[in-house]
A and B are shown apart, each in its own frame.
Chain A
Amino acid sequence: MRAVDALMECLKAEGVDVVFGLPGGANLPTYDAFYDAGIRHILVRHEAGGGHAAEGYAKATGKVGVALGTSGPGATNLVTPICDAMMDSVPVVFLTGQVRTELLGTDGFQEADTIGITMPIVKHSFLIQHPLEIPRSIHEAFHIARTGRPGPVVVDIPQDLSRADIPYEPVTDVHLPGYQPTTEGNQKQIRLAAKALANSRRPVLYAGGGVIAGNAAPELTELATVDRFPVTSTVMGLGAFPAPHEQWLGMLGMHGTRAANYAMDEADLIVAIGARFDDRVTGKLSEFAPRAKFIHIDVDPAEISKNVPAHIPIVGDAKNIVPRLTAEYRALAPDPARLEEWWSRIRTWQERHPLRYEDSKDHEIKPQYMIQALFEATGGDAIVASDVGQHQMWAAQYFHFSKPRRWINSGGLGTMGFGLPAAMGAKIGCPDQTVVCIAGDGSVQMNMQELATCAHERVAIKVFIMNNGYLGMVRQWQELFWDRRYSHVEMGQWPDYVKLAEAYGATGMRLEDKATLLEGIREALQTDGPVLVDVRVTREENTYPMIPAGQAARNMVG
């Protein structure tokens, strides 16, 4: 059988039901195999769109996403999604075509050193050197992508090798002596952590994207409610704990709530679960949570004590460790009354500093109001993909997520243009769910072309562009920290999104009146097929509250 046909068998054995890609010379054999392999293939309009779509698919479904590109420019177009998947620990296998082996190293047509270029931004990569390696490498790639701390794996296949005739036998095991992620947490450490929790008077649970990636959201809720532990999360962790819950403090970090940031500031014990103490969370490191001891639960030992030294490190899967911690804690039966003082302090912050904005008195649509309207129109029952900028932060603040895998954004890399293709991938993975994209007028143009893919494949995503006419987040920083010198942040009035949507074969709408916004959003949600809505919002609104970069949580402004 041709190696590429074996490749198809491997993809099927891995349960792959869709691949996002675009063909070229170096992966022509693979495309020939797709012709009758019976695996759904979505022809994207740009490989970056395909890569982000695979990420959106993976984040929404929890399965491994697959993206495909040809050699050279096809592979370099995948670099941004690969890096994005690395930063946010998204399980995606990237298959790239490579020039024939005889051309390798000769600067052949469309040759790029894909493995070299992507080396620092992959969990692992394979350069196929012999056709017999293909089946095993594919399975190893999937295994590595999905286990431990998930991440991107690149498999680079030279064109001639993919055409080779090989005896194919299904691979049923993978053998990776250098790859053995720790999943089970150390019992002694867990017991120690339970004791620390029982002794703490001002604890906070700080959840990261790892809780979602590790499918440990129910276990987190159980831990939180075994007593009355306050819970906050990073932007990646939204949905790990139900936002309507009375123990939810809101997101923490640069644009988090005051209650969450002040609680971290005064906490005596912080339990970090699947979180990595990013600078957008800690602010000034030397003044981060100065009174706290840290329990750090993470599947990746390299994250522990990387930025903040952990007093009690526990390496392993949150899904394995958190319930054991809950059980140990329960056995200690500490007095819940000791947390009362802490809660009354937290309630004071919550009452004094709720998330707030000044609503318009006329027809103007405030961006925060737009998110609230979208939340209301969907009943909160939607997968929300986001681009990067102010709109992303407002979505994180005002759309209240009750379940994991509903909030899909680019947190670590902050990739503009992530939202639309990620929404497409999520919708393809979860066709029965409402999938919306909250886009920025700057970001959306970076992967706009995938609207054609959505129209062609009838992928019914609803894209709401929060159109402020600016690269708003940059404008905000220029306003606040660079003396209002607005250098190259104005987007002007083009394109006309309604016409553009129609040109792409989608439905275009424009909403510019607060009075009819909610109704308009409902209409967009009910319209068949992909819809692009140009929502005109306040032009110069700032995202608040905010910890100015490099400052302490205590110094939040706005």
Chain B
Amino acid sequence: MGEPGTKEILSLDELEAAGNLRTGRKHILSILVENKPGVLTRIAGLFARRGFNIDTLAVGPTDDEAFSRITLTLDGAVHPIDQVTKQLHKLVNVLKIRDLEPQETLARELALFKVSADGVSRAEVMQVCEIFRGKIVDVTKRSVVVEVTGTCDKIDAFEQLVRPFGLIEMARTGEIAISRGRGET
């Protein structure tokens, strides 16, 4: 396919099928990088070029100010994930990459939900909030802002539950992760 020398006409379906292959397995990559300009662009560019969609991305400082940690989640796509991790390793500013095993990983995300809450519904929203150990961080006559942390699934579930009340806005950080136990991530 895609050979300039072949006259063969490609159907749009074939093209789409080739572009949409996904392995379905979610990966959490934890990437330790030098705190240098352009590092994030280099990493994001690599993923785009190799056909990976980044689902979430979080960047922040680490215990050492010379380094930052990038945590990103993505779906395996046309190329096996190790091809991307090998390419990532070639980036001079990348020190360490871990494709975290879900069972051995603690992953958390923070989300803020702005929900309509007037009269009757307010009590119900607060109830849901309590079950999820959410925190109400802002209140007006007709709305509340709730802060929730947890796994990405938990936040999805919270979203499902508050949506019927009228979800005005939502902001999520994307997951950050660290390995369980004594060893370094």
Q: Report A's interface with B, CB cutoff 8 A.
A: 115-116, 119-120, 123-125, 127, 129, 144, 176-179, 300-302, 306, 477, 480-483, 548-550
Contacts and interface: CB of A to CB of B under 8 A. Distances in A.
A481 B7 contact: yes
Interface in B1-55: 1, 3-7, 33-34, 37-38, 41-42, 45, 49
B139 interface: no
Contacts of A127: 37-38
Contacts of A177: 34, 95
A405 to B, nearest CB: 25
Interface stretch (B82-90, B115-123, B149-157, B162-170): B82-90
A477 B83 contact: no
A178 B41 contact: no
A101 to B, nearest CB: 13
B93 interface: yes
A119 B40 CA distance: 12
Given A301-B86, A302-B87, A549-B3, A129 B37 contact: yes
Contact of B38 (A119, A120, A481): A119
Nearest to A483: B7
Nearest to B1: A550
B125 interface: no
Given A119-B45, A120-B45, A302-B86, A178 B3 contact: no
Given A481-B5, A550-B3, A302 B90 contact: yes
B176 interface: no
Contact of A481 (B1, B6, B87): B6
Contact of A178 (B1, B45, B91): B91
Nearest to A303: B86
Given A177-B95, A300-B90, A548-B5, 20 more contacts: A120-B49, A123-B90, A124-B91, A124-B92, A127-B37, A127-B38, A144-B92, A176-B92, A178-B34, A178-B91, A178-B94, A302-B87, A302-B89, A302-B90, A477-B5, A481-B5, A481-B7, A549-B6, A550-B3, A550-B6
A125 B4 CA distance: 32
9 nearest interchain CB pairs?
A302-B86, A549-B3, A549-B5, A124-B92, A179-B92, A178-B95, A481-B5, A550-B3, A477-B5
Contacts of B3: 549-550
Nearest to A179: B92
B70 to A, nearest CB: 13
A123 B33 CA distance: 16
B38 to A, nearest CB: 6
23 contacts: A115-B38, A116-B41, A120-B45, A120-B49, A123-B92, A125-B38, A127-B38, A177-B95, A178-B91, A178-B94, A179-B92, A301-B89, A302-B86, A302-B89, A477-B4, A480-B5, A482-B7, A483-B7, A549-B3, A549-B5, A549-B6, A550-B1, A550-B5
Nearest to B66: A177
A379 to B, nearest CB: 37
A548 B5 CA distance: 8
Q: A123, A144, A177, A483 — which one has the most chain B CB atoms within 10 A of its CB?
A: A177
A550 B41 CA distance: 34
Contacts of A300: 90
Q: B3, B89, B90 — which one has the most chain A CB atoms within 10 A of its CB?
A: B90
A419 B4 CA distance: 24
Q: A176, A178, A477, A481 — which one has the most chain B CB atoms within 10 A of its CB?
A: A178
A118 to B, nearest CB: 11
A548 B41 CA distance: 38
Nearest to B67: A177
Q: A123, A127, A129, A306 — which one has the most chain B CB atoms within 10 A of its CB?
A: A306
Contacts of B7: 481-483
Contacts of A116: 41
Interface in B60-98: 83, 86-87, 89-95
B60 to A, nearest CB: 18
A123 B41 CA distance: 14
A371 to B, nearest CB: 24
Nearest to B41: A119
Nearest to A481: B5
A284 to B, nearest CB: 10
Nearest to B95: A178
Contacts of B38: 115, 119, 125, 127
A558 to B, nearest CB: 14
Contacts of B49: 120
B93 A306 contact: no
A178 B93 CA distance: 5
Contacts of A550: 1, 3, 5-6
A480 B91 CA distance: 42
Q: B6, B33, B91, B95 — which one has the most chain A CB atoms within 10 A of its CB?
A: B6
A302 B5 contact: no
